[in-house]
Chains A and B, each alone.
Chain A
Amino acid sequence: MDMVNVTINGREYSVPANSTVLEAARYANIDIPTLCYLKDINEIGACRLCLVEVEGARGLVTACVYPVNEGMKIRTNTPAITETRKMNLQLLLSNHDKKCLSCVRSTTCELQKLCNEYGVDENYFGGAKTESTIDDSSVAIIRDNSKCVLCRRCVAACNKNQGVGVIGANDRGFDTHIGSAYEIKLADTTCINCGQCIVACPVGALYERDDTDKVFAAIADPTKHVAICTAPSVRATLGECFGYEPGTDVEGKMVSALKALGFDGVYDMNVSADLTIMEEATEFLDRVKNGGKLPMITSCSPGWIKFCEHYFPEMTENLSTCKSPQQMFGALYKTYYCEKNGLDPKDVVFVSAIPCTAKKFEVQRDGQSAAGVPDVDVAITTREVARMIEKAGIDFRALPDSVYDQPFGFGSGAGAIFGATGGVMEAALRTAAEVITGEKLEKVDFDDVRGTDAIKRATYTLGDTTIRVAVTSGTANAKELLRRVQSGEEQVDFIEVMACPGGCVNGGGQPYQPAVVRNNVDLKSKRAAVLYHADKELLDIRKSHENSAVKALYDEYFGEPGSHKAHEVLHTHYVKRGM
């Protein structure tokens, strides 16, 4: 790598020649403040907080887009710089609804943190504010422009990572605001509810619809039986809300906390992930054998499903008809479990704890009510789970570990890795391989489909069947892949798509992390490592079809994978939405 020598605050450093001043400062262990900068997707120098002095440059320069060169002399914290940054913060505040006490981002707000550090006067500038609106049309995502700082991080996430682009900057000057074309409500656009805008937002301008009150009310209602299941990736991230390092597994404490909250049953969604694999692998092999629609595409990610319905309506028949693990769990609970335990599904409130805002949309879709009532009543994100624990006064860090309730308490390693990109594919391959060959699979790790590359491809020969697979995450990548499939450039039999880049571990409902962490820490891999560790080291079984809870379900209730009963309860249908 070519290096150059620069001086930062009087000391010399050797930094890569293609660095920006912002990146170079990291070598001096200095975080230059930013509000708009997101590595690779939003490098626009808009927020004017990363201003620094470069000797010879005219005025202050924006560190996030200013390239270094040999001999450059940089100062990052002179009184003139801090005074200017403070003034710029005060200008941002002049157009900001400063109701910080009740703001959803209080204490995690990047603007609040900087204002505190710079000692701003929040009322330094009075005067007019840009007319603002709250768009609460969506069941998943709420946009409040009164908090917006126009950093465009949400716009970049929506457009560049997700290939959706339903929000952007409208009008100009003082009237500039983030919105949809012709001010169409979010619910009426092609928004896929993935929530990547929320985790990109530095302030409280975007947040999930908070459904925690519904859960508290259900728990308090003595006539209701309230159960919860937790998605594979929530245990890998929830700790971040309580001060743990990214990549800390808090399954035991999480289960304890949920029991302390008063749920009648606390279950592991890894079990229904295993169930999904039984159905999905069977469906795939059936399509291969009987000339069904190929490539088959996974259907676990509701953001991806809505994306496909809008952008590739001609390919909805390629989607697996399997419900997502969340919906399978709810369906299973309200049919099998209720029948077995003499419960009326109407008296059951089934809650899912998920890393995902799109699941809030999924719970109210058609074809998701196996027992005549919605399979899942409320879907709450990792952040909402944390909020409930905090509100209930539970000291999370002091909790002992507990185990999930039976009969849905043990998932396989295959179920665990559902939360990372490539995990569903790998889980399906483990089962498909044994079904095809009839022999025990010795090497269960399918390394080619792991990792965070945009599009991963592999070809496997299982017995006398050759299967070409592709795995992608981030719907912009999915768009690219599907276009290649449609044009015939790429031939595949089985595709896994997760809407969020890196999969559920990086979902739109996951804990907030400031841009400085997002830009410098590989969150996706750190969080995914928890799941792969559980698969390899912690769990006794690593294949879905070896899960005894799942076997019992087929013996007692469904008969066999893909049976008529299984279709009634565990499968669904899609709509062609178009643009």
Chain B
Amino acid sequence: MKKKLTTVMFRGTRDQEEQLRAVIEEYRGVPGAMMPILQKAQEIYGYLPVEVLRIVAEGTDTPLEEVYGVASFYSQFSLNPKGSVAIAVCLGTACYVKGSGDILDRISEKIGIGPGATSPDGKYSLEATRCIGACGLAPVLTVNDTVYGRLTKDDVDGILEQYQ
């Protein structure tokens, strides 16, 4: 799926930047180091915004676009930070046939962002996931580490209210 660009303000710290620069130094001269550098960058920042990739591009003497090409290609890289309320709706087969598509739409409408995005204030992030292995509870969603199962779209408002 086409990756969504973030609208969340970058809040990187000096410390994070130093860590990233140390990673880039560690891989200096190592061929094919872009993947491990990006993986570690994502560990440090939680996601890969333009501010971070600019540091990688400059540090590895690689065009920014080339770095972005890698980041946008692999599903393991996220261009959006996780929200403080991180919602994931399962779109695995069992959940989907039990109506998780409607649930996803309802959440999307309520919080104003589509799947793969994070609200501009950084509060909500929404993800459409593959099967999370809780088919017995279908349809399911998770908010942070809590699992909600056997839902209908009318349950959405109640769940979201708990995270106001």
* B65:A167 contact, CB within 8 angstroms: yes
* Closest beta carbon of chain A to B28's beta carbon, Å: 17
* Closest beta carbon of chain B to A281's beta carbon, Å: 35
Cα A165 to Cα B60 with chains together (Å): 14
* B73:A166 contact, CB within 8 angstroms: no
Given A171-B72, A171-B73, A579-B58, the answer on whether A166 and B5 have CB atoms closer than 8 Å is: no
Contact of A181 (CB < 8 Å), options: B1, B2, B68, B74:
B68
Residue on A with the closest CB to B68?
A181
Residue A164, interface by CB 8 Å: yes
Cα A579 to Cα B58 with chains together (Å): 9
Contact of B63 (CB < 8 Å), options: A159, A179, A182:
A159
Residue on A with the closest CB to B48?
A182
24 contacts between A and B (CB under 8 A): A131-B2, A159-B63, A159-B66, A165-B64, A165-B66, A166-B64, A168-B65, A168-B66, A168-B69, A169-B73, A175-B1, A175-B2, A179-B65, A180-B65, A181-B53, A181-B64, A181-B65, A181-B67, A182-B5, A182-B50, A182-B79, A183-B5, A189-B65, A579-B54
* Closest beta carbon of chain B to A347's beta carbon, Å: 44
Q: How large is the interface on B (under 10, 10 to 19, 20 to 34, 35 or more residues)?
A: 20 to 34
The A-contacting residues of B in range 1-33, CB under 8 angstroms, are 1-3, 5
The B-contacting residues of A in range 72-90, CB under 8 angstroms, are none
Residue on B with the closest CB to A165?
B63
The B-contacting residues of A in range 134-172, CB under 8 angstroms, are 159, 164-172
Q: Which residues on A sit within 8 Å (CB–CB) of B50? A: 181-182
Q: Which residues on A sit within 8 Å (CB–CB) of B58? A: 579
* A172:B72 contact, CB within 8 angstroms: yes
* Closest beta carbon of chain A to B49's beta carbon, Å: 8
Contact of A170 (CB < 8 Å), options: B63, B68, B74:
B68
Query: A-side interface residues toward B, CB under 8 Å?
Result: 131, 159, 164-172, 175, 179-183, 189, 579
* Closest beta carbon of chain A to B101's beta carbon, Å: 19
Residue on A with the closest CB to B64?
A181
The A-contacting residues of B in range 49-92, CB under 8 angstroms, are 50, 53-54, 58, 62-69, 72-74, 79
Give me 5 other A-B pairs in contact (C-beta within 8 A), A167-B65, A183-B5 excluded: A168-B66, A168-B68, A171-B73, A180-B65, A579-B54
* Closest beta carbon of chain B to A134's beta carbon, Å: 17
Cα A131 to Cα B2 with chains together (Å): 10
Q: Which of B1, B53, B69, B74 has the most CB of A within 10 A?
A: B69
Query: B-side interface residues toward A, CB under 8 Å?
Result: 1-3, 5, 50, 53-54, 58, 62-69, 72-74, 79
Top 3 nearest A-B pairs (CB, nearest first) are: A165-B63, A181-B68, A175-B2
Q: Which of B3, B65, B72, B79 has the most CB of A within 10 A?
A: B65
Q: Which residues on A sit within 8 Å (CB–CB) of B72? A: 170-172
Contact of B2 (CB < 8 Å), options: A165, A171, A579:
A171
Cα A227 to Cα B81 with chains together (Å): 56
* Closest beta carbon of chain A to B32's beta carbon, Å: 17
* B2:A168 contact, CB within 8 angstroms: no
Cα A189 to Cα B65 with chains together (Å): 10
* Closest beta carbon of chain B to A250's beta carbon, Å: 38
Residue on B with the closest CB to A173?
B1
Q: Which residues on A sit within 8 Å (CB–CB) of B1? A: 175
Q: Which residues on A sit within 8 Å (CB–CB) of B54? A: 579
Q: Which residues on B sit within 8 Å (CB–CB) of A172? A: 72-74
* B65:A165 contact, CB within 8 angstroms: yes
Cα A171 to Cα B4 with chains together (Å): 10
* Closest beta carbon of chain B to A299's beta carbon, Å: 25
Q: Which of A159, A164, A168, A182 has the most CB of B within 10 A?
A: A182
Cα A182 to Cα B6 with chains together (Å): 9
Residue on B with the closest CB to A172?
B73
Q: Which residues on A sit within 8 Å (CB–CB) of B65? A: 165-168, 179-181, 189
Contact of A182 (CB < 8 Å), options: B62, B66, B68, B74:
B68
* Closest beta carbon of chain B to A302's beta carbon, Å: 21
Residue on A with the closest CB to B3?
A171
Q: Which residues on B sit within 8 Å (CB–CB) of A167? A: 65
Residue on A with the closest CB to B62?
A165
Residue on A with the closest CB to B5?
A182
* Closest beta carbon of chain B to A558's beta carbon, Å: 43
* Closest beta carbon of chain A to B38's beta carbon, Å: 13
* Closest beta carbon of chain B to A270's beta carbon, Å: 36
Q: Which residues on A sit within 8 Å (CB–CB) of B73? A: 169-172
Q: Which of A165, A168, A179, A181 has the most CB of B within 10 A?
A: A181
* B69:A170 contact, CB within 8 angstroms: yes
Q: Which residues on B sit within 8 Å (CB–CB) of A171? A: 2-3, 72-73
Q: Which residues on B sit within 8 Å (CB–CB) of A131? A: 2
Residue on B with the closest CB to A177?
B2
Residue on B with the closest CB to A176?
B73
Q: Which residues on A sit within 8 Å (CB–CB) of B53? A: 181
Cα A131 to Cα B73 with chains together (Å): 16
Cα A182 to Cα B10 with chains together (Å): 14
Q: Which of B2, B50, B63, B68 has the most CB of A within 10 A?
A: B63
Cα A169 to Cα B70 with chains together (Å): 9
Q: Which of B2, B54, B62 has the most CB of A within 10 A?
A: B2
